[in-house]
A and B are shown apart, each in its own frame.
Chain A
Amino acid sequence: MKYLVLVLAGLRRHRSRSLLTLASILAAFLLFGFLDGVRTVFGAGTDTYGLDRLIVTSRLSLIQPLPLSQLARILALDGVAAAAHANWFGGVYQDRRNFFPNIAVSPASWLATHPEIGLGAAEREAFLTTRAGALVGEDLAARFGWRIGDRLPLEGTIFPHRNGSNTWTFEVVGIMRATDEERAAFAGELLFRYDYFDEGRTQGQGTVGWYVVQLTDPARSNEVAQAIDALFRNSDAETKTQSEQAFNLAFAKQFGDIGLIVSAIMAAVFFTVLLVTANTMAQGVRERVGDIAILKTLGFRDGTVCALVVAEALALLLAGGCAGLGLAALALPTLSRSLRGQLPPLAVGVDTWLLGLAIMLGLGLAVGLPPALGALRLKIVDALARR
């Protein structure tokens, strides 16, 4: 601890350079905190225990349809309270950049299995009775300024309409409001009736994208999930039953290997931090050759001087890294809430902190050791002569 004053003095020598380096380290570890939080969620197991809703998809692929005939057999299973079905539509509103999920659902059973969807009685009734009726989430309605009674044309990108056009027209009959913030992903979605969709499409009639199964007892979720998959094993449409969260993650993973993408981004970020910090340290030590020679003259041993330089690099990395991860830990829950249940809760966990600390130590040694070895080899007489 008595050498701390020398470590801090070294960092204060060029205050603005040290602060800028500190800021770049902070930004890198803030990003690391966010991304590793996401990576952890995507890397988590897909246990279904304790969940009241399961999702059944094709075992082969999320985009492989399942026959609607499976619904009755699922409903007949012990432990199943209700079941609904859905199909991804993939329609575009005006421009591809206006992306939002639009899904054809079985109206009554969908609302029964999703009690968190807040609807007025009139809206519910309108959805159950209006063939081209659509429910839009409150966020989506706010985004486009939609109101009940509006007619929305969506361009079908996967499913052309039987009438020869790609345009499907829907009527907004209700605005879905969140009653449970943890399960409010529908706030950004548009739901419409499966029967309208199935009649209008040109192919794939009688098939669905996935089933949603409501359980009588969440404690039996693993057992029911296995029973469903066992029911269709060795059939033409084998199933994969998983929790709603695992399904959401699998859906997002369709866009790429999230873990690999995150790791690649982090590798690039840390490589940049390595260069920036290494430059700061190298410049700092080069400018302080005289100071280092004085310390050696006074009797500081080579090892002590070497350790002081490494400690400077470690202090920079630990201060910036811990501040960045700390900020991420504070900000991530807010970010998580803003996703409204689309992903499991995001947080900077113990594993992320440990990995972060290991990276800080690794980077600290990597950027501190080369100039420290230079300081170790420094000849007092030569350095003093140059001063």
Chain B
Amino acid sequence: MVELAGVVKRYRRGRQQIEVLHGIDLRIAAGDFVALMGPSGSGKTTLLNLVGGLDRPSAGTVTVAGRRLDALSGTELARWRARHVGFVFQFYNLLPMLSAWRNVELPLLLTGLSGAERKRRALIALQLVGLGSRAKHRPGELSGGEEQRVAIARAVVSDPKLLVCDEPTGDLDRHTADDILGLLQALNRDHGKTIVMVTHDPKAADYARRRIHLDKGLLDAVRAA
């Protein structure tokens, strides 16, 4: 599903060039649930951004679902993201002026579906995450856990094969975090979603099938969870 070969990522900061990833080779099979762990500044989010097609490598290749992402233009990459990947962030990143179902509908605006069909699918996705009754509430009227569920519904509404999650429970209490991680696990187990999740939390990583450790831009070890 995901294949990184010799991936290097450098950033320019002023006159300085900083190399964040130093030749990463990584394979993630379809249907896997991977926890990407490591200390702050190790390059986890940078690696996740490359897998999700939000950024391009400075060198090396990134292949996801058979497509070389490093070779796509900005427009092609946007179209690819819309079809193949769902995103879940630490701070939910919902649009505050839109209701829950309107937030979930967002990825479907990029399809040719009718308004009624978009709404139907958004409501189904909300039911899937247990928020069918909160469809008309705005993010400000929801709890943190509920907001993250809405974000997960948005990530899966267009039925992508890959979910990339950046610290999805980093802003939640233990109990709510367990609910969210259980939900992700169910999406992986019951719906076959491939999940790549960045986390600091070893308990969160327990929900994954395996862990990948990154330190100072290098893969440290790949272990079964």
A residues sitting closer than 8 Å to B (CB atoms) are: 2-3, 5-6, 9-10, 12-13, 290-291, 294-303, 380-381, 384-385, 387
Which residue of B is nearest A10, CB measured? B97
Q: Would you call B96 and A13 a contact (CB within 8 A)?
A: yes
Q: A9-B98, A12-B97 are in contact. Are A302 and B75 (CB under 8 A)?
A: yes
CA distance A12 to B79 in the complex (A): 28
Other-chain contact of A380, B45, B54, B96, B97 (Cβ < 8 Å) = B54
B residues sitting closer than 8 Å to A (CB atoms) are: 45, 49, 52, 54-55, 74-75, 78-83, 87, 89, 91, 93, 95-98, 102, 106-107, 109-110, 115, 118, 154
Q: Would you call A300 and B96 a contact (CB within 8 A)?
A: no
CA distance A192 to B83 in the complex (A): 87
Q: Can you sample 30 A-B contacts with CB below 8 Å?
A: A2-B115, A2-B118, A3-B109, A12-B97, A13-B96, A13-B97, A290-B93, A294-B93, A294-B95, A295-B106, A297-B52, A297-B54, A297-B81, A298-B81, A298-B87, A298-B154, A299-B79, A299-B82, A299-B83, A299-B110, A300-B78, A300-B82, A300-B109, A301-B75, A302-B78, A303-B75, A381-B49, A384-B93, A385-B45, A387-B93
Which residue of A is nearest B50, CB measured? A381
- State how many angstroms separate the Cβ of B168 from the closest Cβ of chain A: 14
Chain A residues with CB below 8 A from B110, complex form: 298-300
Q: Would you call A301 and B98 a contact (CB within 8 A)?
A: no
Interface of A is mostly: helix
Q: Would you call A299 and B107 a contact (CB within 8 A)?
A: yes
Chain A residues with CB below 8 A from B91, complex form: 387
Other-chain contact of A5, B54, B78, B80, B102 (Cβ < 8 Å) = B102
CA distance A300 to B109 in the complex (A): 9
Which of B80, B87, B95, B96 has most A Cβ within 10 Å?
B95
Other-chain contact of A384, B74, B89, B98, B115 (Cβ < 8 Å) = B89
Which residue of B is nearest A385, CB measured? B45
Chain B residues with CB below 8 A from A303, complex form: 75
A-B contacts besides A295-B106, A297-B81, A381-B49, 13 pairs, CB < 8 Å:
A3-B109, A5-B98, A10-B97, A290-B93, A294-B95, A297-B52, A299-B80, A299-B82, A299-B83, A300-B82, A301-B79, A381-B55, A384-B89
- State how many angstroms separate the Cβ of B169 from the closest Cβ of chain A: 17
5 nearest interchain CB pairs?
Answer: A299-B82, A9-B97, A299-B81, A301-B78, A294-B93
Chain A residues with CB below 8 A from B96, complex form: 13
Q: Would you call A298 and B49 a contact (CB within 8 A)?
A: no
Q: Would you call B93 and A9 a contact (CB within 8 A)?
A: no
Chain A residues with CB below 8 A from B52, complex form: 297
CA distance A387 to B97 in the complex (A): 17
Which residue of A is nearest B103, CB measured? A294
CA distance A79 to B154 in the complex (A): 83
Q: Would you call A381 and B54 a contact (CB within 8 A)?
A: yes
CA distance A329 to B95 in the complex (A): 39
CA distance A291 to B55 in the complex (A): 18
Q: Would you call B54 and A298 a contact (CB within 8 A)?
A: no
Chain A residues with CB below 8 A from B79, complex form: 299, 301
Q: Would you call B82 and A298 a contact (CB within 8 A)?
A: yes
CA distance A290 to B91 in the complex (A): 11
Chain B residues with CB below 8 A from A297, complex form: 52, 54, 81, 87, 93
Q: A3-B109, A381-B55, A387-B93 are in contact. Are A296 and B98 (CB under 8 A)?
A: no
Chain B residues with CB below 8 A from A6, complex form: 95, 109
- State how many angstroms separate the Cβ of A113 from the closest Cβ of chain B: 67
Which residue of A is nearest B75, CB measured? A301
Chain B residues with CB below 8 A from A302, complex form: 74-75, 78
Which residue of A is nearest B107, CB measured? A298
CA distance A9 to B80 in the complex (A): 26
CA distance A13 to B54 in the complex (A): 26
Which residue of A is nearest B151, CB measured? A294
Chain B residues with CB below 8 A from A296, complex form: 78
Which residue of A is nearest B81, CB measured? A299
CA distance A303 to B98 in the complex (A): 22
Other-chain contact of B106, A10, A298, A387 (Cβ < 8 Å) = A298
Chain A residues with CB below 8 A from B93, complex form: 290, 294, 297, 384, 387
CA distance A12 to B98 in the complex (A): 10
CA distance A14 to B109 in the complex (A): 24
CA distance A5 to B99 in the complex (A): 11
CA distance A301 to B79 in the complex (A): 7
Chain A residues with CB below 8 A from B107, complex form: 298-299
CA distance A10 to B74 in the complex (A): 24
Which of B49, B83, B118, B154 has most A Cβ within 10 Å?
B49
Chain A residues with CB below 8 A from B75, complex form: 301-303
Chain B residues with CB below 8 A from A387, complex form: 91, 93
- State how many angstroms separate the Cβ of A200 from the closest Cβ of chain B: 76
CA distance A265 to B109 in the complex (A): 44
